[in-house]
Structure 1
Amino acid sequence: MSRQGETTVLFDALGPKGRRNANIASVISALVIVGLLALAAVGLAGQNFFEASRWINPLDALVVENTWVPSIIATLQAFALGSVLALFLGVIFGFGRISQFGLTRWVSTGYVQFFRSLPLVLLIWISFTIDGHFGFTTGTLGWSGEARRLTFLVVGLGVYNGAVLAEILRAGVAALPSGQAMAGHAIGLRHGQVQRLVVLPQVLRNMLPAVLAQLVILLKDTSLGYVITYPELLHSADIIGSDYGNSYLQALIIAAAIYFVLAYALSKLVVLAERRLRKKTAAPLARVKQIEASAVAD
């Protein structure tokens, strides 16, 4: 099917009058947006928002080197570790929900339903404050300061997002045609091999946009490290804004711009990974479909 056919399969193509009305609505919407932006710009200009000194201070070379760059590194570190933990838990409990063993399904469902229902900031705060109870502290392991905060931020991010990713993967497996697994069993694969070699690659490929969206959310959720004073972007922006009282909003906007760049770069990396995954799985999937067709014919 052509790309044009794909974009119109769910609705009828607009006629001349419909296209004209759509163009008029687009122009009006653009004018309204431009007008609101202009109104906001005039209001901010009246408060000297665009004054050069208010932007120079938070972008000073020493501030960038000593605050912005370390905060970006800290944010990416929390994101990377949290993503690894979330993906690991998501795969484990996602497939646990469709396991052949009742106890595994029960435990996996309980994990997903419980942690998905809790606010992430609560998980981070509880994990951080419970440290020191029951005769155990992270200090006994040599963790203190930033490492301690990073540990509990990653735990909160991984546990919560792992529950969400588990539900995403379970939905992906449920949406996969049952013939795919049947074809794997037909060639002598065990249940675990079918899940790992046939089901998982297709689910990851099909659900990659949803997984990406959740990882972008995880990246933004690193800002919740602010509540335990982890030195991520938002916390650093608050410090810079406090040091330069007339540049507080500017510091927050700079942090927002950095978040946008990081999220946009992440989306591009995942698009490249998706293309490589499609190429890698194209041949094996074609072979599985041939076996499935032969099994159905027999």
Structure 2
Amino acid sequence: MSRQNESTVLFDALGPKGRQRSAIASVISAVVILGILAYVASVLAGEGFFESSRWVNPLDALVVQNTWVPAILDTLLAFALGSVLALVLGVLFGFGRISRFGLTRWASAGYVQFFRALPLILLIWISFTIDGHFGFTTHTLGWSTEARRLTFLVLGLGVYNGAVLAEILRAGVAALPPGQAMAGYAVGLRHGQVQRLVVLPQVLRNMLPAVLAQLVILLKDTSLGYVITYPELLHSANIIGRDYGNSFLQALFIAAFIYFVMAYALSKLVVLVERRMRKKTAAPKAAAQLESTVAGGQAGVGVI
């Protein structure tokens, strides 16, 4: 199938008038967007946003070394730990949703439905506040304040995104052709072996882009650590803006740019992994097609 045919499977190709109207709408949309951006830039310029004096303090070498760099590292640490916890919980409760045992299915469904319904910021704040009243980790484990904040930020990120990933995994298993599992049972594999050896590898390969896209969201959600004063980017930008009152908005823009760079780099990694997965699956498909073609040709020769 050609690229042109692939792009018109779900809709009819535009005719001459349709292409003309689409081009006009695109030009009008671009003009409107540029006009809005120009207006915003003029308002910011009138407020002195682009004055170099307001950018000097947030970009000072000491501020970068003592505030921005630690904030980036703390953000990446929370992202890494939250991602690991979310993946573990996602796989665990995702397969719990499709378990043969009713109690396991109900418990997993309850976890997924409950934590998906809660706002992430509320989940982080409630758990942090409860510990603040009872002091389980602080008093019994002797954790520092920073470790305590990191713990409950990671816990909130992992529990919430784990519920989302579990639902993604359940949907991926449901979308898998039932013949795959039946083939496993046919060769004598048990249910657990079928799930581990047949279903899981295919589901993870097919759903890897969706999982990685959810991890991009998790990276941005680390900014919610602001509510418990975890020293991530948003909290650090607020500190810089408080120390340098005339550079508060500039500090927020710098933090937004850093978030954009990290999220963009992670999204490019998603695209790279997806392409590599396509290359790995393209060769077996091509080999299977070639084998069937050759077999068909040999059968035809035999008939003749």
Partner of 1:202: 202
Partner of 2:253: 253
Q: Distance in 2 between matches of 1:288 and 1:83?
A: 36
Gap change, CA 1:284 and 1:81, over 3 Å in 2: farther
Partner of 1:38: 38
What are the residue-to-residue correspondences of 1:117-128 with 2, within 5 Å?
A: 117-128=117-128
In the comparison of the two structures, how many residue pairs are matched? 290
Partner of 2:17: 17
- Mean Cα deviation higher: 268-277 or 163-172: 268-277
- What's the % identity of the aligned pairs? 83
Q: Distance in 2 between matches of 1:82 and 1:193?
A: 29
> Which residue identity does 1:52 align to in structure 2?
S
Is the Cα contact below 8 Å between 1:180 and 1:199 reproduced in 2?
Answer: yes
1:177 deviation in Å? 1.1
Q: Distance in 2 between matches of 1:103 and 1:18?
A: 56
Gap change, CA 1:8 and 1:2, over 3 Å in 2: same
> Which residue identity does 1:10 align to in structure 2?
L
Q: Distance in 2 between matches of 1:140 and 1:237?
A: 33
> Which residue identity does 1:35 align to in structure 2?
G
Q: Distance in 2 between matches of 1:96 and 1:284?
A: 31
CA deviations on 1:99-138 (whole Å, 9 max, x unpaired) are 0011110110111111111111111112112226567333
1:270 deviation in Å? 2.4
Partner of 2:115: 115
1:285 deviation in Å? 8.4
Q: Distance in 2 between matches of 1:196 and 1:272?
A: 26
1:208 deviation in Å? 2.5
Gap change, CA 1:288 and 1:187, over 3 Å in 2: farther
What are the residue-to-residue correspondences of 1:108-187 with 2, within 5 Å?
A: 108-131=108-131, 136-187=136-187
CA deviations on 1:155-179 (whole Å, 9 max, x unpaired) are 0100011011111111111111111
> Which residue identity does 1:216 align to in structure 2?
V
3-state SS of paired residue (1:211): helix
Q: Distance in 2 between matches of 1:171 and 1:286?
A: 27
1:240 deviation in Å? 0.6
- Mean Cα deviation higher: 213-222 or 148-157: 213-222
2:56 is the alignment partner of 1:56: yes
1:234 deviation in Å? 0.3
Partner of 1:190: 190
Q: Distance in 2 between matches of 1:285 and 1:99?
A: 31
Q: Distance in 1 between matches of 2:142 and 2:287?
A: 52
1:30 deviation in Å? 0.5
CA deviations on 1:4-37 (whole Å, 9 max, x unpaired) are 2221100111111111111111111101111111
Is the Cα contact below 8 Å between 2:89 and 2:166 reproduced in 1?
Answer: yes
CA deviations on 1:199-226 (whole Å, 9 max, x unpaired) are 1222222222322222111111111100
Q: Distance in 2 between matches of 1:37 and 1:69?
A: 30
Partner of 2:83: 83
Gaps of at least 5 residues in structure 2 are 292-304
Q: Distance in 2 between matches of 1:163 and 1:225?
A: 19
CA deviations on 1:59-86 (whole Å, 9 max, x unpaired) are 1111111101100000000001001100
Gap change, CA 1:282 and 1:141, over 3 Å in 2: farther
Gap change, CA 1:20 and 1:279, over 3 Å in 2: closer
Q: Distance in 2 between matches of 1:284 and 1:41?
A: 53
Is the Cα contact below 8 Å between 1:74 and 1:232 reproduced in 2?
Answer: yes
How well do the aligned residues superpose, as a CA RMSD in angstroms?
2.2
Is the Cα contact below 8 Å between 2:229 and 2:235 reproduced in 1?
Answer: yes
Scaled by the length of structure 1, what TM-score is found?
0.91
- Mean Cα deviation higher: 73-82 or 112-121: 112-121
Is the Cα contact below 8 Å between 2:209 and 2:274 reproduced in 1?
Answer: no
